[in-house]
C-alpha cells in the first residue's frame, strides 16, 4: 500500500514535502492508515479530529483514541467539537450532509497547504453504485475525485483490504464506528451485500475486481475531463457580460457539451444542480420562457440572450404615506426610480375626458382616507375601468409583468384597498370622469 500511495501522490501531484499537510482523523482504519502512511513517507503532517457528538460515549472514545494515537506518533492534533443535530435543525439538512459540511468548514479553518481525506477505492466504487441507483450523468460514474482544490485523497487507489493489511503489519490499532456494521444505511448495504455479490458473480478475486473498476474510472474520468474542458471553452465564448449569455453559441454545439455549459451556469448562480433544474433552464432557452430557478434567481431569454437577474427579496418591502397639497409636487424614491405625484384642479379647457383619461387618472375626491405608496401585498385586488371584473394583482402580474419586477411595481392604496397599479392604471371606483374636480397625477421615471 505504501508504494501505491507514493505513486498516486506522484502521478496526480497531490502533495509536496515542502507543504504542510492536514489529515482528517476519525480514528477509523482508513484515516489512521493515511496518517501513518504519510508520516512514514516523510510529509509534514498534522491531524484534526472532529467530534460530531452523535454517538454519546462512543464519540468521546473516538476522540480520546485520536489524542493517544497522535501522542504516540508525535503528530500535532487539533480537536474540534460540533453539534451536528443543532446545525442540521437550523439549516434543514440531513445528519450525514450536515456532518460533512461541518467537517469541511473545520478543515478550511486550519492553517494547512493541503487537506487529506481518507477516501479509498472501495469508497469510490460504493459511490459509483449509489449514483447509478439514483440516476446520474457521466460525472457520477467517475467516483470520488483525486483532488478538489486543496483537498486531496492519497488513498483513492487503495482498497479497504489493503488498508487493513497495512495496519496489521505495523501493529497499529484503530476504532470502529458501530454504525458501520449496520445494514440500516444504504451505503452499508452496498458495502456488505451488493459488492461481495458482484465479486462473486464476476469470478474475480477482490483485488482484480477493484483493479478493473479502477481502470474503468480512469477511462470515464478522461472522457469527462475532455468534455468539461470543451464546455468551459464554449461557456467563455458564450459569456457576453456579467449575467448575459449568447444562446445561439450554446445551442450550436452537441447536446452533451451544451448541457454541461448550462450546468456550469447553474452552479455560477448557486442553483442546486438536478435534472429538473437543467430541464427548467433548457425550457427558458428554447421556449423563451422566464423561470425562477431558486429564491431570488431568475432566468429569461430576450433577443437570443440568456439573462440572469435578481428579484426583490421578500424582506425588502416599501410602504409610505403620501400627503398632498394642491399644485405641489411630491417626489419619492421607489427602489431607485423617481415617483412624482401632483394634485391639481381640472381645467376643462385643457383636458378632454375620454376613455384613456379615465383609466390612467385618479379622482382625488373619491379616495378614502390616507394614500400609501407601496409594493404589492398578498390579496391585493383591482377592478380596472371597462373590464367588468375584479382581478387579483397577482393574476395581472402573471399576464405581463416580468417576475423580477413584480415586487418593484408601484402600487397606490387607500383605506379601502388598491387604487392604482403601475402599468394598468386606476381602480374603477376612483377613476376620473366628467364630474372630476381634482385629479391626482402620477409620473414614474
Domain with CATH 3.40.50.620 in the chain: 2-202
Question: Ranked by mean pLDDT, which of 51-55, 345-349, 358-362 comes out on top?
Answer: 51-55
Q: Residue 286 is placed in which grid cell? A: 428554447
Query: What is the mean predicted confidence (pLDDT) over 290-318?
Result: 77
Using alpha carbons, select from 164, 121, 124 the residue that is nearest to residue 8.
121
Q: Is the pLDDT of residue 311 over 90?
A: no
pLDDT of residue 184: 62
pLDDT of residue 352: 47
Residue-level pLDDT at 157: 94
Dmax over Cα atoms in the chain, in whole Å?
105
Confidence check: pLDDT of 363 > 70: yes
| pLDDT at res. 348 | 47
What percent of the residues of the chain are helix, what percent strand, and what percent coil, each to the nearest 5? Answer: 45, 20, 35
Residue 280's pLDDT is: 83
The grid coordinates listed for 440 are 391626482
H or E element in which residue 152 lies? strand 151-152
Tell me the per-residue pLDDT of 132-151, one tens digit each, with 9 for 90 and over.
988 888 888 999 999 988 99
Grid cell listed for 92: 434543514
Q: Which residue has the cell 513517507?
A: 41
pLDDT per residue over 187-201, tens digit each?
Answer: 889 988 999 999 888
CA distances from 360 to 415, 426, 441 (A): 20, 6, 9
The answer on pLDDT for 266 being more than 70 is yes
pLDDT computed for residue 398 by the predictor = 80
**Is the pLDDT reported for residue 29 higher than 70?**
yes
User: Cβ–Cβ contacts within 10 Å for residue 47, how many?
Assistant: 27
Rounded to an integer, what distance in angstroms lies between the CA atom of residue 231 and that of residue 237? 10
Cell numbers that stand for 398 in this block:
402573471
123, pLDDT greater than 70: yes
The enclosing H or E element of 255 equals helix 255-268
Nearest partner of 320 among 301, 334, 338, judged by Cα: 334
d(CA 309, CA 223): 34
The residue among 366 and 183 whose pLDDT is bigger is 366
Q: How confident is the model over 68-119, as pLDDT tens digits?
A: 999 999 999 999 998 999 999 888 888 888 888 999 899 888 889 999 999 9
> Looking at the domain that runs over 232-309, which CATH code has it been given?
1.20.59.20
Pairing of strands 305-309, 319-322: unpaired
CATH annotation of 2-202: 3.40.50.620
Q: Which residues contact 274 (CB under 8 A, 6 or more apart)?
A: none
Question: What pLDDT does residue 350 have?
Answer: 42
SS (H, E, C) 63-88: HHHHHHHHHHHCCCEEEEECCHHHHH
Residues of the chain with CATH 1.20.59.20: 232-309
- How far apart CA 114 and CA 118 sit, in angstroms, is 13
Average pLDDT over residues 44-73: 92
Over the chain, what is the mean pLDDT?
Answer: 87
User: Residue 441 has what pLDDT?
Assistant: 85
Amino acid at each position: 500500500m505504501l508504494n501505491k500511495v507514493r505513486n498516486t501522490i506522484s502521478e496526480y501531484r497531490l502533495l509536496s514535502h515542502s507543504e504542510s499537510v492536514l489529515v482528517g482523523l476519525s480514528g477509523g482504519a482508513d484515516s489512521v492508515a493515511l496518517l501513518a502512511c504519510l508520516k512514514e513517507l516523510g510529509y509534514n503532517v498534522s491531524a484534526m479530529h472532529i467530534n460530531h457528538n452523535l454517538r454519546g460515549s462512543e464519540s468521546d472514545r473516538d476522540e480520546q483514541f485520536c489524542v493517544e494515537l497522535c501522542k504516540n506518533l508525535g503528530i500535532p492534533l487539533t480537536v474540534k467539537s460540533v453539534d451536528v443535530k443543532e446545525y442540521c435543525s437550523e439549516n434543514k439538512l440531513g445528519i450525514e450532509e450536515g456532518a460533512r459540511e461541518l467537517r469541511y468548514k473545520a478543515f478550511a479553518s486550519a492553517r494547512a497547504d493541503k487537506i487529506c481525506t481518507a477516501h479509498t477505492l472501495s469508497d469510490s466504487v460504493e459511490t459509483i453504485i449509489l449514483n447509478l441507483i439514483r440516476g446520474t450523468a457521466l460525472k457520477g460514474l467517475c467516483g470520488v475525485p483525486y483532488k478538489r482544490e486543496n483537498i486531496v485523497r492519497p488513498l483513492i487507489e487503495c482498497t479497504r483490504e489493503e488498508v487493513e493489511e497495512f495496519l496489521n503489519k505495523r501493529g497499529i490499532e484503530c476504532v470502529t464506528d458501530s454504525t458501520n456494521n449496520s445494514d440500516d444505511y444504504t451505503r452499508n448495504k452496498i458495502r456488505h451485500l451488493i459488492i461481495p455479490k458482484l465479486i462473486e458473480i464476476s469470478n474475480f478475486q477482490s483485488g482484480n475486481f477493484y483493479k478493473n473498476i479502477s481502470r474503468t474510472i480512469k477511462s470515464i474520468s478522461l472522457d469527462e475531463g475532455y468534455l468539461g474542458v470543451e464546455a468551459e471553452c464554449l461557456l467563455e465564448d458564450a459569456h457576453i457580460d456579467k449575467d448575459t449569455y449568447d444562446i445561439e453559441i450554446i445551442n450550436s454545439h452537441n447536446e452533451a457539451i451544451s448541457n454541461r455549459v448550462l450546468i456550469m451556469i447553474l452552479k455560477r448562480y448557486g442553483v442546486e444542480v438536478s435534472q429538473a433544474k437543467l430541464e427548467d433552464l433548457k425550457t427558458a432557452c428554447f421556449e423563451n420562457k422566464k423561470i425562477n430557478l431558486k429564491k431570488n434567481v431568475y432566468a429569461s431569454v430576450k433577443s437570443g440572450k440568456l439573462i440572469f437577474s435578481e428579484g426583490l427579496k421578500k424582506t425588502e418591502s416599501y410602504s409610505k404615506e403620501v400627503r398632498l397639497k394642491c399644485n405641489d409636487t411630491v417626489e419619492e424614491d421607489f427602489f431607485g426610480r423617481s415617483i412624482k405625484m401632483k394634485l391639481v384642479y381640472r381645467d376643462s379647457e385643457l383636458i378632454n375626458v375620454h376613455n384613456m383619461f379615465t383609466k390612467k387618472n385618479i379622482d382625488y375626491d373619491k379616495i378614502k382616507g390616507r394614500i400609501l405608496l407601496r409594493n404589492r401585498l398578498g390579496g391585493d385586488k383591482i377592478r380596472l375601468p371597462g373590464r367588468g371584473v375584479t382581478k387579483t394583482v397577482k393574476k395581472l402580474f402573471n399576464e405581463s409583468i416580468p417576475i423580477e419586477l413584480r415586487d418593484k411595481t408601484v402600487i397606490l392604496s387607500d383605506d379601502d384597498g388598491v387604487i392604482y397599479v403601475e402599468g394598468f392604471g386606476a381602480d374603477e371606483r376612483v377613476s376620473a370622469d366628467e364630474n372630476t374636480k381634482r385629479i391626482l397625477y402620477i409620473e414614474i421615471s
